[in-house]
Structure 1
Amino acid sequence: MFDIFKILDFLKKTFTRKDVLLIILIASLFFLTRLINLDQFPIFSDEGIYIRWAKVAWHDASWRFISLTDGKQPLQTWGTIPFLKLFPNNLLFAGRLFGVVGGFLSLVGFFVLSFYLFGKTSAITGSFLYVFTPFFLFYERMALVDSWVNAGFIWIFLFLIYLVKERRLSTSLILGLIGGFFLLAKSSVRIFLMLGVLSPLLIFQKNLKKLFTETVNFYSLLGFSIVIALVLYNVQRLSPFFHYVSQKNLTFVMSFDEFLKTPFQYFWNNLRYTPLYILWEMGFALGLIGLIGLMKLIVENKKLGLYFLLWIILPFVAIVFFTKVLFPRYLIFFASILLLLSSYLLAEALAKANRNLLIFLFVLIFLSVAFFDLTILFGYRYIPFPAVDRGQYIEGWPAGWGIKETMEFAREKSKEKPVIILAEGNFGMAYDVLDVFLRPEDKITLKGYWPMDEKQLYENQPLLKDNYVFVFFSHRDQFPEFWPIKLIKKIDKPGYQSDFHFFELTNKK
């Protein structure tokens, strides 16, 4: 039976005034590090897509499932709309607030999970480290769904453990609602529910009859949770585009038929880069400390340690064998697992008052994340990402350097007469990212083309009579002299691997 007074009494007995101040400090540091310069990092092409979807769905209710047209679940679209309403003139800031909220849900879940498994010291220590872990710091500042996938992992992991230990119908119901909610974020959340079958390991005992009874009861409740989750997930069938989800998944994950034909097609590449990406974007030290913590946990609490080990190994095996496209952000939940184990090890060291070990570990952690964090917040071009992420967010064609400034230039010109921008790319880069910076009152029209060459340029020349017409090239870097365009600005990116070109259309025949 719910009793708010018992809960308050528990909190009062468990947390001292010092603990409360530390928790407030952690929450304050979280929002400070997530909100500072939030809209200053150059827009990523995928962010442009997701924000435009939310923008369309906001203004036209018939398109609330617009993300399904590209095989993406709708949670980000729905969750971004309230922020667009709050900040209609800064859609990038609004879109990235969605990631910040997902990160806060992750932080709260991380604190509760760590407290439940390892105690108060681990929860406070781990939550403090969570705030400064580069993996979380970066992706929770982006208009991407990955912070919500991480939140889904943490809360599902927590309630699976609680369900197997308590075996309550109410817990099963909550787990089902949580699972269904986060299934609307990304297909990969399914693996967290599937791994629930491992949970009886935590109640393994020599009394086989009792073990059998408790295991059957747990699986019955887990089945109930999965049914609830699937019912919520199938709300997407209200859209005629639901079938695109399974098709889109095959872009990133091998089907079983593909796997049987070429089981090792992606294996060696994924085997090499999966652990590298996880450790790299954690700053290496935290991940390695987590692995040491795992070994200690297996010694101290064999059942829980093996449970953690299986949650690392089984998804890892699935990823290295089946994943076609591997980006670090897809691996973010591994960072939560390793950080949980790191906080466990550090809490154990604190409990034993091993001062020299603690100083060494915290100095090591500080040195490993300090530069990473500072560049994420203030020096974007120097973020020490692995090459694949520098290519996506900083150096390659998806990195939107100069997009905001381009739209500000067009806005100034539109004060003289209407502006039309011809954008190379009608999906993502460049149309969608330009659209993010378009305000309701702007006298600016965007027209996306793919491909775009002289044909589109000449077709739009008649518009010059009453408008300024500008041309934004996001992919092409060769422009014949006879084309009717005059260069306004070339936008170079760090690393000089790609650039943008911004032209004015002329009447040249």
Structure 2
Amino acid sequence: MKPFPEHIKRLLLETVAFVKRHPVGVGLGLVFALYAATRLPALKSLPIFCDEAIYIRWSQQALHDGRLLVSLTDGKPPLHPVLMTTFLALFDDPLAAARLFSVFLGGFTVWGVYLVAKELEGPRLGVLSALLYVICPFALWYDRLALTESLVMPLFVFAGYFALKAAKTGNLWYMAGTAGLTGLGLLTKATAQLLFFVVPFAYLLREESPSGAESPASRARRRPLLRWLVAVVITFGVAYGIYSLLRFASDFHVIGEMAELHNLSVSQLLRDPFKVFFSNAWALLRVLFVYMTPVFFLTCLAGIVWGAVRKRRGAWFLAAWVVLVGGVTCFVVTFHFTRFFLVVLPPLVIGGAYALLGLYDLVVARWRTPTLTLPLEGGGEKDEALPPEGRGRKIAFVAVIVLCVLIFVPAALQDIAIIASPQHTWLPYEDREQFVTQWPAGWGTDETVEYLAAQSEKGEILVGAVGAPGTQTAAVPADTLSVYLFDDENVEIVPYTFEEGDRFPALLGSDPRPTFVVLNAFEEVPEGWPLEVIERFPKDGNRRLAMFLTHVEPANPPGGTGP
């Protein structure tokens, strides 16, 4: 066997030396490389989702029409669609651009998880926590979608990080970062209000002065808890002041109206505190169990409990984050989406890192050969090896290996499925219906857009976009088509809901232009409608429902038109 060439040996030695000198930097570099490798490939493998189309349309209107506050008309704060304009201006494909924006923001969430965990217990916990976040299927699924949560998550995590820095160092100026980020979070989504419950508990990480360094009288004069509470109140006051800038908008009142529809009021909670709690709590546990994979989820919970039992103040903070954020959400949300539960993911993965590092330390302690220090006859001492605890160390070693396999292998398999074939991955039933099998899923959008764009090159066309029966919305297909065709001057898209009965819209039958109708989530073309089916696009996993691309026949049958 030929020896390695000297230059290769030297390169290997230099690489090993570099890793030893910069283990944290190398570890983070590998984590972010894995993040890019899991978030960027096949970014459009899942068709456009209803809410994605709505957010992209708002962003396009902000970019091209200057309507920066258009999202307020639906009761949504404007920061996410406004910031998304930066990526829409750079890339031709709106959906790819919007999802790339989410991937970009997700990288900051990974960094924030690292910083929070590092603040709790050092860089080793930080790197492992960031790794667990990257491999978590729950994070992967939503990092690849153009939804508001992609901006909420980094703002939430970094607001918590600055609160921890303020508590640990005693430098309350760090709370300025928490105030600004919380304010930006409120300009993004109401979920940021949950920071009001999390931030005060950062005080658990406050470091006491060294013994004897401060007299009780001096400490009493300083009143650290009182100063902390005052800082928290000022922080939230500044954050709410930032949010209150929206009050100058004419549609600000819609935010409150939508909040009343989706959340219980204080009076409703007082009358019936557990009206929605148990159903939401069950949904929270079920969603985390599926999205995080079972062993991964249970390990994360066990890590937080184990750390709290061992009186690690960082674990107490994580427990407060999970319990308060999850609990408040379960008490007040009248209808849950799985993405509402994303904000409990960062403390959970840090808890999982606690568990794995605790087991690793146990293995190291078992693996080291125990020694006994014996005195020498002429003076001095010597260390003598004791018989190794073979069974104990083997059990500990096997336990760590098995646990890592049960965490990483199912998560990796689910990650691969999400990237390559998201419609076939293991999803909570709510998300399977929303993203894959029911009306919000935009199967057939790309093919329909391609066909209509080709027809518009021949001249002006009219497109009727008919929403799914019973939904009272035509967002799919109207917004999903408008995302791609909004700037085509030869295309006019007219949305219709299917709530007035089954009569064919008169305008679509009388317009002299070539007219096409796209029907979403229909079983068949309604009887009596003068439509010729061009293509049928079934919802994946639901062959009963489909999106129909149709052409209006030149002559309507008798009685086929209506008012």
Question: What is the TM-score normalised by the length of structure 1?
Answer: 0.90
The separation in 2 between residues aligned to 1:18 and 1:298, in whole angstroms, is 28
**Contact map agreement 1:286 1:338 (CA 8 A) in 2:** no
Q: Which range moved further: 347-356 or 33-42?
A: 347-356
Within the alignment, does 1:93 sit opposite 2:135 as a pair? Answer: no
Once the 2 structures are TM-superposed, how far is the Cα of residue 453 of structure 1 from its aligned partner?
6.5
Partner of 1:315: 325
2:514 corresponds to 1:468: yes
Counterparts of 1:481 and 1:173 in 2: how far apart (Å)?
Answer: 62
One-letter amino acid of the counterpart of residue 371, structure 1: L
Give the corresponding residue for 2:560. none
The one-letter amino acid of 2:506's match is Y
Q: Which moved more, 1:362-371 or 1:13-22?
A: 13-22
Q: Residues of 2 paired with 1:15 and 1:86: CA distance?
A: 40
Name which of 464, 469, 472 aligns with 1:422: 464
Q: Is the 8 A contact 1:278 1:334 kept in 2?
A: no
Q: Distance in 1 between matches of 2:175 and 2:358?
A: 32
Q: Write the distance in 1 (CA, Å) between the matches of 2:552 and 2:509.
A: 7
CA deviation after TM superposition for structure 1 residue 484, in Å = 1.1
Structure number with bigger Rg: 2
Task: Give the aligned partner of residue 451 of structure 2.
Answer: 409
Give 1:235's match in structure 2, choosing from 245, 248, 252: 245
* One of 459, 475, 489 as aligned partner of 2:507: 459
TM-score of the two chains, using structure 2 as the length reference: 0.82
Alignment of 1:137-156 (within 5 A): 137-156=140-159
Counterpart of 2:293 in 1: which secondary structure? coil
CA shift, 1:403, in A, is 0.7
CA distance in 2, matches of 1:91, 1:393: 18
- Structure 2: give runs of 5+ residues left out of the alignment: 1-17, 365-395, 468-472, 558-563
- Shift of residue 126 of structure 1? 2.0
* Alpha carbons 2:456, 2:491 under 8 Å: kept: yes
Q: Distance in 2 between matches of 1:268 and 1:173?
A: 37
Q: Distance in 1 between matches of 2:175 and 2:206?
A: 17
Distance in 2, matches of 1:268 and 1:159, equals 33
Deviations 1:292-349 (A, max 9, x none): 1112211333433333222222223222222101121100121211101111222233
The higher relative CO (CA closer than 8 Å, separation ≥ 6) is in 1
Q: After alignment, is 189-198 or 137-146 more displaced?
A: 189-198
CA distance in 1, matches of 2:528, 2:504: 14
**Cα 1:498–1:250, aligned 2, differ >3 Å: closer, same or farther?**
farther
Residue matched to 1:35: 40
**Alignment deviations for residues 196-251 of structure 1 (CA, whole Å, 9 cap, x no partner):** 23333444989987378001111122222222212221221231111111211122
Match of 2:263 in 1: 253
Question: In structure 2, what residue type is equivalent to 1:70?
Answer: D
Task: Summarize the alignment of residues 288-327 of structure 1 with structure 2, pairs less than 5 Å apart.
Answer: 288-327=298-337
Match of 1:59 in 2: 64
State the partner residue of 1:381.
Answer: 423
Match 1:109 to one of 108, 112, 135 = 112
The 2-side partners of 1:375 and 1:398 are apart by: 21
Q: Within the alignment, does 1:181 sit opposite 2:181 as a pair?
A: no
Q: Secondary structure at the residue paired with 2:475?
A: coil
Alignment RMSD (CA, Å): 2.5
Q: Which residue does 1:7 correspond to in 2?
A: none
Alpha-carbon distance in 1 for matches of 2:125, 2:349: 10
4+ residue segments displaced more than 6 Å: 204-209
Give the aligned residue type for 1:292. A
More helix, by proportion: 1
Residue type of the alignment partner of 2:547: F
Contact 2:418 2:425 in 1 (8 A): yes
Identical aligned residues as a percent: 26
**3-state DSSP of counterpart to 2:329:** helix
Q: How does 1:185-224 map to 2 (within 5 A)?
A: 185-203=188-206, 210=219, 213-224=223-234
Question: Please, which of 308, 317, 335 is the counterpart of residue 345 of structure 2?
Answer: 335
Distance 1:230 1:15, change over 3 A: farther
| Structure 1 position 370 matched with structure 2 position 409 | no
Taking the TM superposition and a 5 Å limit, the aligned residue runs for 1:464-503 are 465=512, 467-496=513-542, 498-503=545-550
Unaligned 5+ segments in structure 1 are 1-12
Q: Across the two proteins, how many residue pairs are aligned to each other?
A: 494
Q: Distance in 2 between matches of 1:310 and 1:130?
A: 19
Alpha-carbon distance change, 255 to 144 in structure 1, aligned in 2, over 3 angstroms: same
> Aligned pair in 2 of structure 1 residues 498, 109: CA closer, same or farther (>3 Å)?
same
For 1:427 and 1:482, locate their aligned partners in 2 and report how far apart those are by CA, in whole Å: 21
